[in-house]
Amino acid sequence: MELKQILLLFALLAAAGVAQAQTRTLVTGTITDPHGVPYGGAVLSGVLISPGGQSPSLTPCNNPGAGCQIQQAVPPTTLGPAGQIQGLSLWANASILPAGTTYTFTVTLSPGVLPPLGTGPQSCTVAGVTIAGATQNISSSFTSCPSLTTITSGGGNCSTTAITAGYLLQSNGASGCVAGPIDNGVTIAPGIIGLDEAVVSEIASLGTLPFESEPSGNVENGDFDEPFFGGFSPIPPPGWAEAGGFTGTLSYNTTTPYNGSASLIDTCPASGVCSVSSNHFMSVNPGDVIQAQCAMRVDSGTVPASCAINYLLNSSPLTGAQLFALTTSSASFVLVTGTGIVPPGAYAVDLTINAGGATASTSEYDAMNMIDLTQVSSPPPAPTPCVGICTGTLTLNGSNLPIPSAVYGRWGRLAWSHINDTYAQSGDIQFNNASSCLSATTNSATAGLPSYEGCTTSGTINSTGYVNGASGQDFHTGTAANPTNVRLADYGELAASLTNVRTWFAASDQTQSTVGLSDTPAGNLIGFRFSSTASDTTYKAVMCASSTCNAISTGVTAVAGAWHRFEIVCNDTVPSCAFYIDGNLTVVSGTDYPSNVALSIFQIMDNTTAVAQSWAWAEMYYSTAQ
């Protein structure tokens, strides 16, 4: 073998040995506050700190010609639900020059646990961490992270207040409070029991609502069979509680129940108090889609049988409201189902029988249950329209707008194509080919934006500019009996200026001019608005029914020239709409919901003075379940 070849072989072997000397470490750990409440969903970031501010590099260096500098910043990673570090691999400090280089880590949680029970956004920084070995757990470095809750004493406070979805503080005697998952036997508030985590796992694996012996899904004794296992029939049924001041009479039908051994009969006098609630609250997150089902019938009277999903808000004192109700006037058992979207600030839901009315009545109930469709691994077998923000098999080119993972019914997408300087469309809902875009400019895609059309109004006052999406011939809100569950989304710049403008992204049964010239348009409408004439500082979520409008602040401050994803997801069963900005739930409302109307979709700009105004759009999306 020639000397040159021998030297080359030695060089290759040396390089292989050097490469093996450079080691990476799998970094693990769990980050919690002093009470054990996890920093779930927080972002962990880091940076290498070298003596004298030198640039860190690998040692030994296996490529001296190119240099062996390494990135100082640690790629950010999102912590798991229990605060666990996931998928983080770092260079061991022994492989880094100069000597004495260490890691500094920062964990940031926002919005955190909301006040008054929580402390809001929090962050925690630890410095001087040395990484070594094949794996390293750094949990002990984060023992001084700020508390996520405002509750620090032991005793009653711990056992009566839920802290965040899925976790609550439990009394730990004289040593104070500790956090644990909501579980049976742990009281959240008087008469309110947490969800059994084992039941959650059972439901997730089954993907359905079981009505068997206790436990029965997410509602204890939802089939009212439990009392009869031991030959007893207590009233109220185990797992259920009568409302305060209860004036009705509860009994069991063991002869012709809907299923199992018994159904519950609720006999209520005129104007009586006859509600009965499940003692089990299910832990939820804002934006979750909750499905309930109740088998019900009316035995006597004209008052419908009714059950409802109620939610608790993260507030002190505890407050809540009804999410949605299910009813029937049938004299035979009917299994009624429905869904609703959990509003901002809610952390738990329960199921209630709402018997009674202005006249005396008797109604009957069985097979009561509820499930969080967002948290289970697979949906119930019966197909239902996708409700909520669902990412999945279809994608929108460029704008990253989410669309359903399973599209029931019809959908359409409208986008601006720079190569043709015109509209590009897909799906089976076609757009209304009409627009008013004076002094249009076309713009190529960049790393930050897809290709888009920039538009300018004229200098004449109220020269409304617009671009159309679907028309009312193809887009129609539904009813509880015939839901269409419309969805619409827009990626655009509503206004380059916030002075003397009125802008909309909306679906309405009125013309573009009617909508563009008013803060509260006539007719029916669902949409986002910014209007300087209405003194808006934030984007407003607006719904109008028969010319009566309700506007709610999204809490998102309008910024001149800012691009946003505006998304609206409606549910005819409730009925209500959820309003999202950039994927974040901002408003859920059912006030002035325009049921059963045909709507056309627009992005609109109106100049409220004789000054030209500009705006831009890139894409629109819309779907309907029919």
Nearest to 423 by CA among 437, 408, 409, 410: 437
Q: pTM for this structure?
A: 0.44
- In the block, tokens 């020639």 appear at 2
pLDDT band at 584 (very low <50, low <70, confident <90, very high): confident
What is the rounded average pLDDT of the residues 171-187? 36
pLDDT band at 436 (very low <50, low <70, confident <90, very high): confident
pLDDT band at 194 (very low <50, low <70, confident <90, very high): very low
What is the rounded average pLDDT of the residues 3-17? 45
What is the rounded average pLDDT of the residues 33-60? 84
For the purposes of burial, counting CB atoms within 10 Å of the CB of 554, is it exposed (0-12), middle (13-18) or buried (19 or more)? buried
Q: Report the pLDDT value the prediction gives residue 520, as an integer from 0 to 100.
A: 92
Q: Report the pLDDT value the prediction gives residue 458, as an integer from 0 to 100.
A: 85
- In the block, tokens 């390293």 appear at 136
What is the rounded average pLDDT of the residues 253-277? 89
Q: Report the pLDDT value the prediction gives residue 150, as an integer from 0 to 100.
A: 56
d(CA 476, CA 469): 13
Which helix (H) or strand (E) is 552 found in, with range? strand 548-557
In the chain, what is the greatest distance between 2 CA atoms, to the nearest angstrom?
108
Q: Report the pLDDT value the prediction gives residue 128, as an integer from 0 to 100.
A: 93
Question: Residue 129 pLDDT more than 60?
Answer: yes
pLDDT band at 175 (very low <50, low <70, confident <90, very high): very low
d(CA 68, CA 100): 17
Radius of gyration of the chain (CA): 30
What is the rounded average pLDDT of the residues 173-186? 37
- In the block, tokens 């040692």 appear at 59
Q: How many helices (H) and strands (E) does the chain have?
A: 4, 41
Q: Report the pLDDT value the prediction gives residue 384, as an integer from 0 to 100.
A: 37
Q: Report the pLDDT value the prediction gives residue 331, as an integer from 0 to 100.
A: 93
Residue 478 is encoded by which pair of tokens?
A: 């539904």
- One-letter amino acid identity for 321? A
The verdict on whether omega for the bond into residue 379 sits within 30 degrees of 0, i.e. cis, is no
Residue 150 is encoded by which pair of tokens?
A: 């405002």
d(CA 342, CA 165): 12
Question: Residue 235 pLDDT more than 70?
Answer: yes
Lowest mean pLDDT among 52-61, 379-388, 476-485, 489-498: 379-388
Q: Report the pLDDT value the prediction gives residue 580, as an integer from 0 to 100.
A: 86
d(CA 523, CA 530): 19
pLDDT band at 142 (very low <50, low <70, confident <90, very high): very high
d(CA 525, CA 600): 9
Q: Report the pLDDT value the prediction gives residue 486, as an integer from 0 to 100.
A: 86
pLDDT tens-digit map of 303-313 = 999 998 887 77
pLDDT over 90 percentage in the chain: 20
Neighbours of 155 (CB within 10 A): 13
Instruction: Pick the more confident residue, 351 or 415.
Output: 351
d(CA 496, CA 501): 10
d(CA 215, CA 369): 11
Q: Report the pLDDT value the prediction gives residue 164, as an integer from 0 to 100.
A: 37
Q: Report the pLDDT value the prediction gives residue 362, as an integer from 0 to 100.
A: 95
Neighbours of 497 (CB within 10 A): 15
Lowest mean pLDDT among 61-75, 129-143, 527-541: 61-75
With residues binned 3-state (H G I as helix, E B as strand, rest as coil), the percentages for the chain, rounded to 5, are 10, 45, 50
What order do you get walking across the sheet with 361-372 strand by strand?
A: 249-253, 263-268, 361-372, 289-300, 334-341
d(CA 38, CA 381): 34
Nearest to 292 by CA among 237, 346, 342, 236: 342
d(CA 457, CA 460): 8
CA 462 → CA 95, 503, 610, 611, distances in Å?
A: 66, 12, 8, 9
Instruction: Pick the more confident residue, 109 or 584.
Output: 109
pLDDT band at 374 (very low <50, low <70, confident <90, very high): low
What is the rounded average pLDDT of the residues 191-207? 29
What is the rounded average pLDDT of the residues 105-123? 76
Q: Report the pLDDT value the prediction gives residue 512, as an integer from 0 to 100.
A: 87
What is the rounded average pLDDT of the residues 607-612? 90
Q: Report the pLDDT value the prediction gives residue 409, as an integer from 0 to 100.
A: 61
d(CA 607, CA 498): 10
What is the rounded average pLDDT of the residues 344-371? 86
Q: Report the pLDDT value the prediction gives residue 8, as an integer from 0 to 100.
A: 47
Question: Residue 127 pLDDT more than 90?
Answer: yes
Residue 558 is encoded by which pair of tokens?
A: 């309008």
- Residue ranges and CATH numbers for the domains of the chain are 3-142 (2.60.40.10), 197-372 (2.60.120.260), 410-624 (2.60.120.200)
pLDDT tens-digit map of 12-24 = 444 444 444 567 8
What is the CB-side half-sphere exposure of residue 558 using CA atoms within 13 A? 26
> 55 by DSSP, 3-state: which?
coil
Q: What is the mean pLDDT of the chain?
A: 74
Q: Report the pLDDT value the prediction gives residue 44, as an integer from 0 to 100.
A: 92
What is the rounded average pLDDT of the residues 8-34? 64
The full DSSP string for 225-240 is: -GGGTTT---SSPTTE
What is the rounded average pLDDT of the residues 274-288? 79
d(CA 553, CA 542): 9
d(CA 409, CA 516): 30
Residue 123 is encoded by which pair of tokens?
A: 């962050």
Lowest mean pLDDT among 20-29, 119-128, 140-149, 261-270: 20-29
Q: Report the pLDDT value the prediction gives residue 609, as an integer from 0 to 100.
A: 92
Question: Residue 591 pLDDT more than 90?
Answer: no
Q: Report the pLDDT value the prediction gives residue 149, as an integer from 0 to 100.
A: 65
What is the rounded average pLDDT of the residues 155-169? 35
Residue 312 is encoded by which pair of tokens?
A: 């608790």
User: Strands 135-137 and 120-129, how do they pair?
Assistant: unpaired
